[in-house]
Amino acid sequence: MFSVSLKNHHYELDNYTFNLAAGIVAADIGKAVMIDASAASTVKLATAGAEILGRLEQVEDRTVSGLLLGTVALRFGGILPIKSGETVIVGDSLVGAGAGEVKAQAAEGFSAKFRVFEVVALEATTLTI
């Protein structure tokens, strides 16, 4: 049986290079990130309740040059990891849940731009609205 899935839709023009906060490693690829206001053009893993900027696509550790860089997809159709113990259903808007994981947004708050279209295990397939 065939069905429609929004997994792995990429918008190459919406991928941008950012400085990464200390501690981000290649194992964090695919996690949600947010703006890190402590430095210009920097992102960090999304914290609990934070507005999600995008998904970390690539990590480049250039410590020899003193840089930790990453590519962030600001708009995509794809998977974000759901925090264990959180309930996320189709139609929910997402916010950070800590350590780059996500959870459903409470009724109040800012207008979350990531909407859930599919949930499988602890992965939410989202599309940027």
pLDDT tens across 14-49, in order?
Answer: 999 999 999 999 999 999 999 999 999 999 999 999
The pLDDT of residue 101 is 97
pLDDT of 2 above 90: no
pTM metric for this prediction: 0.90
Residue spans per domain, the chain: 11-73, 76-128
CB atoms within 10 A of CB 114: 24
Closest CA relative to residue 114, chosen from 41, 51, 46: 51
pLDDT of 98 above 90: yes
Tokens of 73: 């997809």
**CA dist list (Å): 48 to 4, 21, 55, 96, 97:** 31, 17, 16, 5, 4
Q: Name beta bridge partners: 119.
A: 124
